[in-house]
Amino acid sequence: MLKKIVIFFGGIIVIVLLLTLYFKNEVKEEKIYHIMDQMRLTLDSQLKSHEMDDLKIALLLSKNEALVNALENDDEDLGYKILEDITQDIEKNTGMRIRAQVITKELNIFARSWDDIYAGMPIGDYRLDLQYFYTHTNPRTSVEIGRRLGIKATVPVYKNGNFLGFVEVISFFKSMTDFFSSMGVDLYVLLDVKHTDTAVLMMQNLTVDNYVLANRNYNYAHIQTLNHIDFKELKLNGVVYADEKYIFYENMKDGSGTIIGAFVFVLPKRYLDYFRNPEDDISFLINVTRSGLYDVVKEEKYENNIYKDYSAKSMVYLQDVIDKEERQLFFDEAYEKFDKYSKDELIQMMLNRKIVKKIDGKIK
């Protein structure tokens, strides 16, 4: 009789444990899918916010009488000076770095705020999205392919009813990547490799599956994981688990609604507890408990970057001797450091640079 009682209660304990494990897994799975949904909503919100910010500036520039007159008179030097002055004032007073350019109606570069080298260069072959304006007069902002993938806010410019060209503001994905990184989520902006014939400035970027990586400030440690997962499964399910990381997928579309790539998020499992449970707060992704997470993410990011202690000037000299497998990591850190300098300061660095070459073989 005692034996039967022991077996009975033992069975109950096992059932309770199994049910507990089952419901725990169910709650965890619900949390994962809720995180996926919230990340998609947050991505959409971030994209719209950046698009609207860029569009506001592009609209203001398109109404700048001096800039419009310079375009009408084909005065490229004046156009460059106006763009440079305005964008430098914006950066000085707000900290926002603006990349603005003016394009002629013949689809040639008229002026760009960040350099005056490519004035007159035709870009029609790289900017098929501009065909939209053959039949539309309203401004448009969206993720578009050019020589680089980016968010492009494009405003047609008219004077007295005559079409002169376009003013546009271009931004890339640095601030968005930083935003997600502060929550322990790494964002990878991936362009389908079939578009690299157009996105020629991305041809040497890292590739992941059948995609080329567009954003620069990512966590290099996750690239190996992305290169070994089944992207067909990821696209089908929206999420996969590999190497103790949750990987989420969202289609990337251009302004015409065509799928041109993907946004992929990587959330290490160890960060999962920093996110609130769905039943606690419907907007739990935005309200991540960041008190410890931000420091953990920041510390890990710096630990994985062997070039963080080098100055920008030092990196100018290092570029010739970096091993092939470390070049992307080096370029990412160099980009972050050089981005803080003006064009004149960068030119001065290059003029002072001594050529350093890597010599292979034996010294005779």
Nearest-angstrom CA–CA distance, 310 and 296: 22
Q: Do the domains 174-295 and 49-171 match in fold? A: yes
Q: How many CB atoms lie within 10 A of CB 355?
A: 6
Start-to-end CA distance of the chain, whole Å, equals: 92
The amino acid at residue 278 is P
What percentage of the chain exceeds 90 in pLDDT? 48
- Sequence length of the chain is 364
**CA-to-CA dists, residue 68 to 82, 102, 116, 268, 358, angstroms:** 10, 10, 17, 50, 50
Q: How many CB atoms lie within 10 A of CB 1?
A: 5
Q: For residue range 253-272, what is the model confidence (pLDDT) as tens digits?
A: 999 999 999 999 999 888 77
Nearest-angstrom CA–CA distance, 187 and 91: 25
Q: Following CA atoms 88, 92, 97, 103 in sequence, which dihedral angle do they give, to the nearest 10 degrees?
A: -20
Q: Which residue has the higher pLDDT, 260 or 274?
A: 260
DSSP of 102-170, one letter per residue?
EEETTSBEEEESS-SS-TT-B-TTT-GGGGGGGT--S-EEEEEESSSEEEEEEEEEEETTEEEEEEEEE
280: region left, alpha or beta (phi > 0 left; psi from -120 to 50 alpha): alpha
Nearest-angstrom CA–CA distance, 172 and 182: 18
Angle CA 146–341–70, to nearest 5: 55
Which strands form 259-268's sheet, in the order they lie side by side?
207-208, 211-213, 186-192, 259-268, 245-253, 239-242
Minimum mean pLDDT range among 182-186, 187-191, 251-255, 322-326: 322-326
Mean pLDDT of 174-179: 88
CATH of 174-295, one of 3.30.70, 1.10.540, 3.40.470, 3.30.450: 3.30.450
Tokens of 85: 């002055």
Backbone dihedral angles phi then psi of residue 152, each to the nearest 5 degrees: -125, 120
CATH of 49-171, one of 2.40.100.10, 3.30.43.10, 3.30.450.20, 3.60.15.10: 3.30.450.20
Asked if 172 contacts 253 with a C-beta cutoff of 8 angstroms, the reply is no
**How buried is residue 191: exposed, middle or buried, by Cβ count under 10 Å (0-12/13-18/19+)?**
buried
For the chain, how are helix, strand and coil distributed in percent, rounded to 5?
50, 20, 30
Q: For residue range 41-95, what is the model confidence (pLDDT) as tens digits?
A: 889 989 999 999 999 999 999 999 999 999 999 999 999 999 999 999 988 888 8
Nearest-angstrom CA–CA distance, 145 and 196: 9
In this predicted structure, the answer to whether residue 316 has a pLDDT above a threshold of 70 is: no
In this predicted structure, the answer to whether residue 169 has a pLDDT above a threshold of 60 is: yes
In this predicted structure, the answer to whether residue 27 has a pLDDT above a threshold of 90 is: no
Average pLDDT, the chain: 78
Asked if 33 contacts 239 with a C-beta cutoff of 8 angstroms, the reply is yes
Nearest-angstrom CA–CA distance, 128 and 115: 23
Q: Where are the domains of the chain?
A: 49-171, 174-295, 312-358
pLDDT band (50, 70, 90) for residue 30: confident
Nearest-angstrom CA–CA distance, 87 and 167: 13
Minimum mean pLDDT range among 144-148, 209-213, 219-223, 329-333: 329-333
Q: For residue range 152-164, what is the model confidence (pLDDT) as tens digits?
A: 999 999 999 999 9
Q: Which residue has the higher pLDDT, 226 or 331?
A: 226
Q: Which residue has the higher pLDDT, 272 or 230?
A: 230
Q: Which residue has the higher pLDDT, 243 or 29?
A: 243
In this predicted structure, the answer to whether residue 317 has a pLDDT above a threshold of 60 is: no
pLDDT for 19: 44
pLDDT band (50, 70, 90) for residue 215: confident
Q: For residue range 95-114, what is the model confidence (pLDDT) as tens digits?
A: 888 999 999 999 999 999 98
In this predicted structure, the answer to whether residue 279 has a pLDDT above a threshold of 80 is: no
Nearest-angstrom CA–CA distance, 178 and 307: 19
What percentage of the chain exceeds 70 in pLDDT? 67
Which run of H or E residues covers position 11?
A: helix 2-62
pLDDT band (50, 70, 90) for residue 276: low
Q: Which residue has the higher pLDDT, 262 or 307?
A: 262
Q: Which residue has the higher pLDDT, 245 or 16?
A: 245
pTM here? 0.72
